[in-house]
Amino acid sequence: MATTGVFNGTNLILKIEGAAVGHTTSCTLSLSNDLPEATTKDSSGFSEVIAGVMSGELSFEGLVAYDDAANAIAMADYLLNRTQLTCVFGTAVTGDSIFTAEGFLSGVEMSAEMESAVTYSGSITITGSITKSVNA
């Protein structure tokens, strides 16, 4: 049954190449629409725009665990090999919406502070269309 009401962010998952990105502390889907200017003398002094090119980005942050299927090292390998990735953003709950897209890692960062857990983060620029479907 689909999720209802306000829910815990822990339930949102980012999967890359079929595996959940390991030990994430956050994941984000950002969609945008370029809005080219369409103001004319007939606009009565108001700005007008038209819908233009749409784009998207997925980003994530997490804790490094080398034994995760989709870990920081795998992300670095995907970036260095210029691998086009299949990404899925959503919950694992039947009936919930999920977003699927292809993309390339545009950045990966690993950080290690003294006496702290090692962290990593990355961002994926979506190429092509984004498909919304219902989790079966």
pLDDT digits over 89-112, tens only? 999 999 999 999 999 999 999 999
pLDDT confidence bin for 9, thresholds 50/70/90: very high
In a domain, 81, yes or no: yes
In a domain, 15, yes or no: yes
In a domain, 55, yes or no: yes
In a domain, 59, yes or no: yes
Domain residues for the domain of 107 are: 10-39+48-134
In a domain, 56, yes or no: yes
Rounded mean pLDDT of the chain?
Answer: 97
DSSP 8-state class, residue 3 = -
Provide the number of structural domains found in the chain. 1
Phi, psi at 62, each rounded to 5°: -170, -175
Angle formed at CA 101 by CA 74 and CA 64, multiple of 5 degrees: 25
Give the CATH number, domain containing residue 101. Answer: 2.30.110.20
In a domain, 74, yes or no: yes
pLDDT over threshold 90, residue 1: no
* Nearest alpha-carbon partner for 34 in 57, 56, 55, 52: 52
